Amino acid sequence: MPQITVSDDLYRQLEAESSEKDVTDTLWKMVGSYRRSNNPESDTA
């Protein structure tokens, strides 16, 4: 699995958004959302 490095400030924001969920899952959802919005062809097979 690729490694993602984030700043302490961003990590705290991720923790706040994740609440009871796993921060890693939240981060990957955000990465996927960003990827789809900035490159819609990236998710086509």
Per-residue pLDDT, averaged over 14-18, amounts to 82
* Residue 16: pLDDT over 70: yes
**Residue 8's pLDDT is what?**
92
Place of tokens 């959302």: 33
> In angstroms, rounded to a whole number, what is the distance separating the alpha carbons of residues 22 and 19?
8
* Residue 15: pLDDT over 60: yes
* SS3 label, residue 8: helix
Radius of gyration of the chain (CA): 12
φ, ψ at 4 (rounded to 5°): -120, 130
**Residue 36's pLDDT is what?**
82
pTM for the model stands at: 0.49
Per-residue pLDDT, averaged over 39-43, amounts to 69
SS3 content of the chain, % helix, strand, coil (to 5): 70, 0, 30
**Residue 1's pLDDT is what?**
66
